[in-house]
Amino acid sequence: MNASSGSDNFVVFDRVQKSYDGVELVVKDLNLAIGRGEFLTMLGPSGSGKTTCLMMLAGFETATHGEILLDGKPINNIPPHKRGIGMVFQNYALFPHMTIGENLSFPLEVRNIGKSEREEKVKRALEMVQMNDYQGRRPAQLSGGQQQRIALARALVFEPELVLMDEPLGALDKQLREHMQFEITKLAHELGITTVYVTHDQTEALTMSDRVAVFDDGRIQQLAAPDELYEQPQNSFVAQFIGENNTLMGTVSKIDGDQAEVTLDDGEVIDTKPVNVNKVGDRTLVSIRPERVEFNKERLTPGAHTIKAEVLEFIYMGDIYRTRLRVAGSDDFFIKTRNAPDQRRLKPGERIEIGWRAQDCRALDA
C-alpha cells in the first residue's frame, strides 16, 4: 500500500498522520496513491478516519505529519481556495439568497473569469446535470435531488481536475440515490475527472468505484477493486464490513500451501483457504459468503465440503430467499438462493446438508 511516485499518480498521501489532541492519531501513517481520472472511494464506519483524509486533501484540516501531493506538487501549505478542487457535501451548501445561476457563477467570479465566459460555463454545467431550465430559481424552490444536482454542477463549473465528495447522497431516498450514483459515475468518467468519494454505504462504494479503500481505526485495511474486495477480503474486518458474511470460529489444524484444514469449535473439520493465518494452532474466523453456500446436492461441485444444518427461519425477499440456519453451533448462518421456479423453499425445523467449495471459504484473523 505504499504511495508509489509515478506520473499517473495525481493525488499522493505520503506517510500522512493526523491528531487533534497531540496524543491520539485519527489517521495513522497513510500511504495512498490515486491515479489521474480514477474514481476512488474511502469507505468505513464513523470515526475510521476517512472524512479526515478528505478534509486534509481539501485543505480544511492540516496534516500533523507527512505530505500530500497534487499532480506532483506538495499542497500542505496551500489554502483551500487555491487548490482548484471541486467539493460536493451531503447538505448541498448552496447559497439560499442566490439564484441557481448565481450559485454556479460564484466560484467563477472568485477566479476572476469574465462575464461572457462565466455565462457559457454555467450553461454547460447545467446541461451536464440536465437542469438547464432552473437557472432563475432559488435553492428553496428545488427538491433534494435537484439541489444535489446543482451542488454537483457547482463543483464541476470551473472544470477542476479533482472533485471531492463527502456522503453526497446521504439525504436522498433509495431510488433517487441509486439513480444519482449512476449519474455521478457516468459524469466523472466522461469528463475524466479524478474523484475521491467518502461514504459508509458499502453498496454505493461497490457500484461506483474503480477502487475502494476500506478504513478502520485510522488505517486502510484493504485497497482494491470492488470485486476483489468482496471476493477476496484480506482480514475479518473487511469480510464483515463489505456485504453479508457467515463466520465460524475454529483452530487451524493443518496448512499445506494454499489449502488449510480448520477444526471448528464444535469439532467439525472443514477445508478452507488460508488468508490471514500463519501456523497450525492459530485461532481463526472462517468466512463464507451466503450466496456461495449450496443445499441442492445436484448443484454442488464434486468434492465440495458438506456439513449438517438445521433450518431456523425462511425469509422471502422477492428476488431472493434468505434462510437462517444452525451450523456448527452458530444460529446466525445464512444462505441466499435466487427466487427461481426450480428452487426449493426450505421449512423451519428441516434438517439438511449444505456445502461449498474450499476456495470460497477463507481462514481469516480471529
Average confidence score pLDDT of the chain: 90
196 vs 19: CA distance, rounded Å: 22
Retrieve residue 105's grid coordinates.
457563477
Quick one: 39 and 184 in the same domain?
yes
What would the pLDDT profile of 96-132 be if each residue is shown by its tens digit?
A: 899 999 999 998 888 888 999 999 989 988 988 888 8
Q: Which one, of 170, 209, 180, 187, lies nearest residue 42 by Cα?
A: 209
What would the pLDDT profile of 183-201 be if each residue is shown by its tens digit?
A: 889 989 988 999 999 999 9
Categorize the per-residue pLDDT at 343 as very low, low, confident or very high, splitting at 50, 70 and 90. Answer: confident
Query: Across the beta sheet with 211-216, what order do the strands follow?
Result: 85-89, 162-166, 194-199, 39-43, 211-216, 219-224
Categorize the per-residue pLDDT at 6 as very low, low, confident or very high, splitting at 50, 70 and 90. Answer: very low
Quick one: 225 and 294 in the same domain?
no
For the chain, count helices (H), then strands (E): 8, 19
CATH number of the domain where residue 355 is located: 2.40.50.140
Quick one: 174 and 267 in the same domain?
no
Give the predicted TM-score (pTM) of the model: 0.88
* Average pLDDT value for residue range 174-183: 86
Quick one: 25 and 99 in the same domain?
yes
For residue 82, is pLDDT > 70?
Answer: yes
Yes or no: say if 322 and 290 are a contact pair by the CB < 8 Å rule. yes
What would the pLDDT profile of 228-258 be if each residue is shown by its tens digit?
A: 999 999 999 999 999 899 999 999 999 998 8
Quick one: 312 and 218 in the same domain?
no
Of 236, 270, 291, the last residue of a domain is 236
Yes or no: say if 33 and 9 are a contact pair by the CB < 8 Å rule. yes
What would the pLDDT profile of 10-67 be if each residue is shown by its tens digit?
A: 999 999 999 999 899 999 999 999 999 999 999 999 999 999 999 999 999 999 999 9
Other Cβ atoms closer than 10 A to 185? 17
Yes or no: say if 166 and 154 are a contact pair by the CB < 8 Å rule. no
Terminal Cα distance for the chain, rounded: 23
Yes or no: say if 181 and 204 are a contact pair by the CB < 8 Å rule. yes
Structural domain of 304: 245-365
Q: How far is CA 173 from CA 6, 170, 254, in A?
A: 40, 8, 49
pLDDT at 148: 86
Yes or no: say if 115 and 123 are a contact pair by the CB < 8 Å rule. no
Quick one: 297 and 194 in the same domain?
no
Q: Which one, of 25, 18, 1, lies nearest residue 67 by Cα?
A: 18
What would the pLDDT profile of 124-155 be if each residue is shown by its tens digit?
A: 889 888 888 898 999 999 988 888 889 888 88
How many domains, the chain? 2
Of 236, 264, 281, the last residue of a domain is 236
Categorize the per-residue pLDDT at 345 as very low, low, confident or very high, splitting at 50, 70 and 90. Answer: confident
Quick one: 230 and 260 in the same domain?
no
Within a domain: 3: no
Contacts of 105 (CB under 8 A, 6+ apart): 118, 119, 122, 157
